[in-house]
Amino acid sequence: MSKIKVETCNIEGLKVITPTVFGDERGYFMETYNYNDFKEAGIDYNFVQDNQSASKKGVLRGLHFQIDFPQDKLVRVIRGEVFDVVVDMRKGSKTYGQWFGVRLSEENKKMFFIPKNFAHGFLVLSDYAEFTYKCTDFYHPNDEGGVIWNDPDIGIDWPIEPGTELTISDKDTKWPRFKDIKR
């Protein structure tokens, strides 16, 4: 029996995964990845690299994608909370240019599976967050593309609290709009 619950999303290929958590007075235990459970759920991929980042409240990272070496990703938050967002970049997809967002936190322990050819980013909602992700291809430093985080054509409804000062890298403020990307 699988130890994960998998929810499909309104965009084909995206999956929100909730693991079974076993808790008692000592704390809790959960499997964060079990190949057999994920394969049974239709997520049969060979992850080759794990990454982790830490960010403070108001940090917005993204929206990033890989150009020639696209990656499938399995993301989760191990401390704090983020609003995780993807934009469908798959030419020919019936949801091309549409976005989906989910709250990932240390409390809900949800994971988010993102197939290749999606732009990805997140906003830190807690005072501090640690974000981890598994990838199906290695990082290629000269292969990154991006979409501006506040593209009005996409219309992402970022949950930015009044008074929150965003921290965005210089690179992430210069990405083009979705309609201007040649793919």
- Every domain of the chain and the residues it spans: 4-180
Tokens of 11: 């965009």
Residues ≥6 apart with Cβ < 8 Å to 180: none
Asked if 64 is an active-site residue, the reply is yes
Alpha-carbon distances of 46 from 35, 43, 71, 85, 136, rounded to whole Å: 9, 10, 11, 23, 6
Burial state string for 78-104 with b = 16 or more CB within 10 A and e = fewer than 16: eebbbbbbbbbbbeeeebeeebbbbbb
- Which CATH superfamily includes the segment(s) 4-180? Jelly Rolls (2.60.120.10)
Tell me the C-alpha distance between 158 and 78, whole Å.
Answer: 21
pLDDT on residue 2: 62
Residue 130 has pLDDT above 70, yes or no: yes
Question: pLDDT tens-digit profile of 24-83?
Answer: 999 999 999 999 999 999 999 999 999 999 999 999 999 999 999 999 999 999 999 999
State yes or no: pLDDT of 144 exceeds 90: yes
How far apart are the C-alpha atoms of 1 and 21, rounded to whole Å? 14
Mean pLDDT of 173-177: 97
Cβ-based neighbour number of residue 156 at 10 Å = 19
Query: What is residue 12's three-state secondary structure?
Result: coil
Of the candidates 33, 64, 96, 120, the residue annotated as catalytic is 64
Whole-number percent of the chain with pLDDT over 90? 96
- Note if 120 is an active site residue: no
The answer to whether residue 91 scores a pLDDT higher than 60 is: yes
Tell me what the pLDDT averaged over the chain comes to: 95
Q: Active-site residue among 45, 96, 128, 133?
A: 133
* 169/178 Cα distance (integer angstroms): 19
Is residue 19 within 8 Å of residue 31, measured between CB atoms? yes
As a whole number of angstroms, the distance between CA 171 and CA 168 comes to 8
Angle at 9 between CA 19 and CA 14, to 5 degrees: 75
Q: How far apart are CA 77 and CA 79, in angstroms?
A: 6
Per-residue pLDDT tens for 59-76?
Answer: 999 999 999 999 999 999
Tell me, what's the pLDDT at 141? Answer: 87
